[in-house]
Amino acid sequence: MLVVLERDTEQVGLQAAKIVAGAIRRNSSLRLGLATGSTMIGVYRELVRRHREEGLDFSRVVTFNLDEYLGVASTHPQSFHHFMQEHLFAGVNIPRANIHIPDGTLTGNYDAYCEQYEQAIRDAGGIDLQLLGIGRNGHIGFNEPMSSLGSRTRMKELSAETIADNRKSFAPGEEMPQCAITMGIGTILETRRILLLATGAAKADAIAKSIEGPVAASVTASALQLHRDVTFIIDEEAGSLLTHKPYYAHVLKMTRSLMPERLS
């Protein structure tokens, strides 16, 4: 596990984008797992800039998004389809056929659809690099507390905390989605490399529990401790409750000197 402590939100976005861009340069057919949410905006802004100014090529990149609200059309301004189009896809040269996002308009047969989503990931050869944010309650994707740590892509009820956190993006009085389709923890743990990003004091407790707490379904991000290649890129506020910072700084220094490609 690598913990990269950055000064602020902007540096978190730049560092994550640098790693993603490096991965695409090394493998033009990168299978990239994507997340939505405010934490990702800076990452996608920088990837779009690198595409426009440095020619970063997305023409062979294949993407799989973690999740989508259920009962929300792809044209809805708060849908994750819309978010991805606005913040990344419209700004880079990725072909439509290479983009996979769970369908939020499903009305039944969720299990069959979710199995197809898993099959599409397998058919593509698995996900090489997965971007993750984290909820205040420690969720990754929409794997809310007490999700099975072996879970696969499925329909999931959102927790009251997540509904409250995300309500601010919906119009006043508008009905909030209560469920989502999300990749499972088991699905996420099969990806080859994971970058989890977090910024702000509201994430500090979830980050400390995920990195230094026991592996527990009550904080689903703690399952990442079982992954062989996970990098947490967090700002000072999100890292404020960590107790082993000198050790993380030492590992980071050694990584920068011995394996610089891990961070670029």
φ, ψ at 161 (rounded to 5°): -65, -45
Extended strands (E) in the chain: 2-6, 31-34, 62-65, 67-69, 99-100, 129-132, 154-157, 179-182, 193-198, 230-235
Extended strands (E) in 70-198: 99-100, 129-132, 154-157, 179-182, 193-198
CA 172/CA 191 separation, integer angstroms: 37
Q: Identify the active-site residue in 46, 65, 87, 137.
A: 137
Q: Let me know if 81 is a catalytic residue.
A: no
CB 43 within 8 A of CB 34: no
Q: Let me know if 144 is a catalytic residue.
A: yes
**Which residue is at the shortest CB distance from ligand F6R?**
133
Q: How far is CA 36 from the centre of its chain?
A: 7
Nearest CB to ligand F6R, comparing residues 104 and 135: 135
Q: Is 33 in the site for ligand F6R (CB under 6 A)?
A: no
Q: Is 130 in the site for ligand F6R (CB under 6 A)?
A: no
CA 171/CA 19 separation, integer angstroms: 35
User: Considering only residues 12, 15, 31, 39, which one is a binding residue for ligand F6R as defined by CB under 6 A?
Assistant: 39
- Residue 94 exposed, middle or buried by CB count within 10 Å (0-12, 13-18, 19+): buried
Q: Is 184 in the site for ligand F6R (CB under 6 A)?
A: no
Q: Tokens for 216? A: 């527990």
User: Considering only residues 42, 135, 138, 177, which one is a binding residue for ligand F6R as defined by CB under 6 A?
Assistant: 135
Q: Let me know if 157 is a catalytic residue.
A: no
Nearest CB to ligand F6R, comparing residues 29 and 169: 169
Nearest CB to ligand F6R, comparing residues 21 and 135: 135
Nearest CB to ligand F6R, comparing residues 127 and 140: 140
Q: Let me know if 67 is a catalytic residue.
A: yes
User: Considering only residues 33, 42, 104, 133, which one is a binding residue for ligand F6R as defined by CB under 6 A?
Assistant: 133
Please give the positions annotated as active site. 67, 137, 139, 144
Chain positions contacting ligand F6R, by CB under 6 A: 35-39, 66-67, 80, 133-135, 139-141
